[in-house]
Structure 1
Amino acid sequence: MTLLKQSVAAVTLALASGMAMAECGDIVVAEMDWASAEFAANLDKIILEEGFGCSVDLAPGATATTLASMESKGRPHIAPEFWSNAVRERLQQAEDNGQVIVATKLIPDAADGWYVSKSIADDYPEINSIDDVLARPELFPNKENPGKGTFVNCPSGWTCQIANTNLTKPTAYNFEKAGFVAIDPGSAAGLDGTIAKSYDREEGWFGYYWQPSSVLSKYELKRLTTDADVNDDHWNSCIAKEECDTPQRTNFTPTTVNTIVTTGFAGENPDVMEYINKRGYTSDEVGKVLVYMSDNQADGEDGAIYFLENHEEIWTKWVTAEVADKVREAIN
């Protein structure tokens, strides 16, 4: 189901909201290319258009490039799901310069790190840490490099690829010495595909992933531990930067997933900002939507409509009764 397929009542509602739309105006919302971010962007689009009378365009985005565009162009106006760890210093600078506002924590219990597949967790319960994995490259064979182990990195262009790559260097976890090769899965779908394939074949898989996600729920990945401490200063000054020459072993910093808004838009739209600062959900709550999307080959818009139809107890707390009624009418 898409918004183009909504009832005539929804069209009538949109026309009747002309005055409100003139006040809210045109909004560009960043839609990152992973499932939870696609859901978040489409959820905002529906609520802002149907409830607040805005006109919303979704723009493809990625963490670093979206922030750069918000800094230089003031567009997009909203980045609903922004994983800020990899660009924390730059984000702080943009906030200090008055270019963006760091709004609500969208997913307070989000997390990311390095994981292994269920088959490894089941067959080798003694493998719990990153060092345990690095000692057994034969469990994660690389088809193009016989005798080497495989680490599945983030796709090129994602900021997590930078951090992961730095952590593999000789001064950190030293993948070369351990006999591991990092591969680029090419896309979010490619990354998920490597996990699904390893699950179906009961093969070893080692790589980066995050929570919330349908993948962690469906394929039961096991998160690896490390004896390294969290070092925010080193993470921000080196691990998260391309020019990090001598990275040190560092645990993944606690994940922060905020909504980022341009300062000009925030100042002109206090009602929208009130909604943005109220909305949020747990990994479990959004994880159920992501499983629905995965099982039904649904896109972010379908997921947003599913959430609005099935979880009124969550989203109606973010908006006024009037806005909630408008959204209900639009999706029914």
Structure 2
Amino acid sequence: MEIWVQNAQEAYDKGIADGSFIDLGTNFNDNVQGMFVPAYVVKGDPGRGIEPMAPDLKSYTDLPNYKDLFRDPEVPNMGRFYGAVPGWEADHIITEKFDTYGLSQYYNVFRPGSGASLASSLVSAYEKGQPWFGYYWGPTWIFGKLDLIQIEEPPYNEELWNNGYGCQFPAVDVNIVVHKDLPEQAPEIVEFLKKYKMKSDIISEALAYMTDEGVEADQAAIWFLREKQDIWTTWVSDEIAEKVKQKL
């Protein structure tokens, strides 16, 4: 049902062109990836007794001023950026991006062995109220659980992107795509899917619920139906919405 269009552009274009697939519209397109720090690094957190560590940190141009805050424990005269896992497309992009921005002379890009290791480094620092600077993306449970601030970069521009990735990562269109025969086989499902819209923050919240509660997708779906009725009731008729509510 769901396809990240730019991540499967060739297959998507072929399927749409030859009529094998039908695109029913956007599921969500507010996904994000880039350079992040915990919000308390910039704003502090009075509730946890954390003072702002880098109150003037906003843009990638500010980062050279804070390499000591994000000190690399293995190379103390350099900062550390927690990058993408080797083999991920983002790993290559980040390396070039740091060269383009002139950040390579200030920061080492540390490559974690897995996505879990990257998440663990962030969560561990966050729980201790320590500085952390690295790559992340959403929607993920991390964004549903932690308050992060994205480091500003120039807005996405195709020319800049194709010449050293000197701008923001582009958002990816996440669309609802179905087999060409589905409208005839299940027209009511197609009508439902045409109305189905989601946002990254809601997805991240649901993923965080699954992580915190240790539940599977079916239990998270029940949580969503109970807690987010203002969203899903717009996808179905009033009659169906009432039937679902009665079962909850």
Please indicate the TM-score interval, normalised by the length of the shorter structure: 0.7 to 0.9
Please name the residue that 1:222 is paired with.
149
Are 2:5 and 2:173, in contact at CA under 8 Å, matched by a contact in 1? Answer: yes
- Whole-angstrom distance in 2 between the partners of 1:155 and 1:149: 18
Deviation at 1:155, TM superposition (A): 3.8
Deviations 1:206-230 (A, max 9, x none): 222234444335332111112x342
Aligned residues: 239
**Correspondence for 1:124:** 54
SS of corresponding position for 1:148? strand
- The aligned counterpart of 1:150 is 80
CA distance in 1, matches of 2:210, 2:69: 31
Q: Quote the Cα distance in structure 2 between the aligned partners of 1:270 and 1:176.
A: 54
Q: Secondary structure of the equivalent of 1:304?
A: helix
Percent identity among equivalent residues? Answer: 26
Which residue is 2:213 aligned to?
Answer: 296
Q: CA RMSD in A?
A: 3.4
Hey, what does 1:201 align to over in structure 2?
A: 128
8 Å contact 2:86–2:111 — kept in the other structure?
Answer: no
Distance 1:296-1:163 versus aligned 2 partners, 3 A rule: same
Shift in alpha-carbon separation, 1:131–1:267, aligned structure 2, 3 A: farther
The 1:229/1:118 distance shift into structure 2, 3 A limit, reads closer
- Provide the residue aligned with 2:45 in structure 1: none
Residue 106 of structure 1 pairs with residue 34 of structure 2: no
* Kept after mapping to 1: 8 A contact 2:183/2:190: yes
1:278 Cα deviation from its structure 2 partner = 0.8
For residues 223 and 320 of structure 1, do their structure 2 counterparts lie closer, same or farther at Cα, with a shift above 3 Å needed? Answer: same
Cα pair distance change 1:250/1:117, threshold 3 Å: same
Q: CA deviation at 1:120?
A: 2.4
Does the alignment pair 1:181 with 2:109?
A: yes
Q: Give the match for residue 158 of structure 2.
A: 232
Name the amino acid aligned to 1:314.
I
What's the CA shift for 1:88? 4.9
C-alpha displacement at 1:205, in angstroms? 1.4
Structure with the largest fraction of helix: 1
- Contact 2:19-2:180 at 8 Å conserved across structures: yes
Give 1:97 shift.
Answer: 4.4
Contact 1:86 1:160 (8 Å CA) reproduced: no
Partner amino acid, structure 1, of 2:35: W
Using the size of structure 1 for normalisation, the TM-score is 0.59
CA distance in 2 between counterparts of 1:176 and 1:90 reads: 36
TM-superposed deviation, 1:204: 1.9
Q: Distance in 2 between matches of 1:316 and 1:211?
A: 25
| Deviations, residues 68-117 of structure 1 (Å, cap 9, x unaligned) | xxxxxxxxxx23xx444555576445533445444332235443322112
Q: 1:159 to 1:316 in 2, by over 3 A?
A: farther
> Counterparts of 1:205 and 1:186 in 2: how far apart (Å)?
17
1:125, distance to aligned residue in structure 2 (A): 1.1
Unaligned stretches of 5+ residues in structure 2: 43-51
Equivalent in the alignment of 2:226: 309
Instruction: Find the residue that maps to 2:101 and give its secondary structure.
Output: coil
Matched letter for residue 158 of structure 2: D
Q: 1:278 to 1:195 in 2, by over 3 A?
A: same
Q: For each residue in 1:100-140, what CA deviation from the matched residue of structure 2 results, as whole angstroms up to 9, or x when unmatched? A: 44433223544332211234212111111122224433322
Give the alignment's TM-score, normalised by structure 2. 0.75
